[in-house]
Structure 1
Amino acid sequence: MSVELFDVTIIGGGPAGLYSAFYSGLRNMKTKLIDAHSTLGGKMHVYPEKMIWDVGGVAPIKGQDLIRQLSDQALTFDPTVVLNEKVVSITRGENDHFILTTNSGERHWSQTVIIAVGSGILYPKRLEVEKTLNTPVKNIHYTMPQLKQFKDKRVLISGGGNSAIDWALLLEPIASEVGITFRKETPTAHERSVNELMTSSINIYSKHIVTDLVTDPKTNTVHTTTLTSIDTQDEIELSVDAVIINHGYEQDTSLLDESDLDLERKNDFYLAGTAECTTSLSGIYAAGDIISYPGKVNLIAGCFQDAVNAVNQAKKQVDPEADSFGTVSSHHAKLQNKF
């Protein structure tokens, strides 16, 4: 059977996967990128309006704009991009090539693989009380959509982590009223963000949880929420125009759980690797949050170095005579006619 063989196949379309696609093109590799979602960008879609400050050489930028720039860069050398396909297994075929099988049954052949799935395919943890409703409610949100839609609205945020606090602070000057509720005495967020929260005009309901939602059946929206004290069981009723939930995410780890290949794990999900982004199996590399090694930096900035290292390792696997490092981009012939 005739199959199309790629030099490298990248699993995951977040920052690590996107930069891997760009850099593998820079190294003249035949590249494919597969992502389970309908659009590129990965977890950054959770916070499209959030400002990102820690990418070197990039002025503070919204998540949605960084997605666009990374996606444009990733497509510079025309990699093959496959969306809405979830890789469920990786096996070895003839000539030691890898076969990647997706949930639709499609198979993809590659000489090397770069796993760049971040923390796995993420599904937001649902609000327990919402599960009792017959139909989805229009004004309950699990990601931060356009901020302008909350202008002059009464917004309640449930969650005490970094994203929940960031969302509350972003909405403070836009919404007419912002409240935040969480289970603990204090939020489990960065100290600076907590300090900003505590000195803001945001209504804080610590050690409370959302226990009831009153909806309007005509508009299918929530208009009243009930918060219950964890300590006393006392209740507070709040009128709301929107509810935002940030209780973390469920990780889909089936790619590693069901793979026929014995990849060494660091813990329940992360791959044990090296600073060169090799894994325990020759020909399989990893970049971004999925890989753990001494000195690992779990930031968007760190995933770019991971991507470069993973691609360089993959290039040497495909072509042992190749240079260990790629040509400096400003000297690269393929880029001379791009601008």
Structure 2
Amino acid sequence: MTGNENYIQLTSAEIACIWSEYMNDTMSTCILGYFLSHVKDNEIKSVIQFAYDISTTRIGKLSEIFNNEKIPLPIGFTNKDVNINAPRLYTDPFMLQYLAHMAKVGLLAYSAFVSMGARKDIKTFFTTGLQETSDLFVKSTDVLLEKGLYIRAPYIAYPMNSTMVETNKYLSGFSFFSKQRPLNAIEISHLYMNILTNQIGSKLALSFAQISPNSDVQTWMLRGKDISNKHAKIFSSSLIDNDTQAPSSSDVCITDSTTPPFSDKLTMFHMSLLSAAGSGNYATSASASQRSDLIVNYERLSLEVAQYAKDGADIMIKNEWMEHPPTTLDKEKLAKDKNFSN
């Protein structure tokens, strides 16, 4: 590669993107491989197989990029992090809902990766990944709809005409003297999304606590379940107070198995990934919402998620489960440690 006069070195952003994607895809193949060994519904199995094939293909292409650039391949996740022969932990409908949710997370990630790429091959890789992830989202939601499992956003009456905001009271969410204005469609859509995100997070955290042999991990996962349930309840209350039905999913998602199909290293990474995605969702929701009480909720709940993620990182570091991302050299340390023997 370096002998090519047209060779362009990867930027720090591009290295970050391929490293992050390798970590995510190796995690995904472990989870999807386990799903494939237990799923019974053929339609759901075909969607899982589609997702698994995408991830395995990406890992091969990413490995080639790392090797060509002579960058050490990340450790990521391997067969050591999954036991596909462990008893069934999730129901088929939950596997499908999980796929649809992770496809949404992937769409956001790939959009960011595409925008950070400059080199043509990197942009092409992530543009293709964005299309593949979009196809996965469509396939998974189509099957959810066919089986009556898709949780729709609340309906509202169509507007009769277009109007302008006439007073800054429109932005106020707190008043002892007047009723809060009704939620607008944008605010409802973000409340809906964050309720569903927390419902998925709660189920995953509970399942990971159920299978973990580590008391620190169990405690942290159960705390995550409680945080997700609390946040979902707060967002649901905003809808209910607006006389709008809050979305809900089935509680029949997890079996009573306590045999670990996944390593604690994998489950901790997965929940950290979801925590980061949740923080991003809250920031987006706060910026899109116009009623001040909603903005305050998103901001204060973001702090709780950030502290939860920090405590999770401490557990990962303590157990040597956190892989070091590529980083710059410490030039000051390099200067101090250089060899003067010559």
TM-score bracket for the superposition, by shorter chain length: under 0.3
TM score, norm. by length of structure 1: 0.23
Could you state the TM-score of these two structures normalised by the residue count of structure 2?
0.23
Q: Which has the higher strand share?
A: 1
Larger fraction in helix: 2
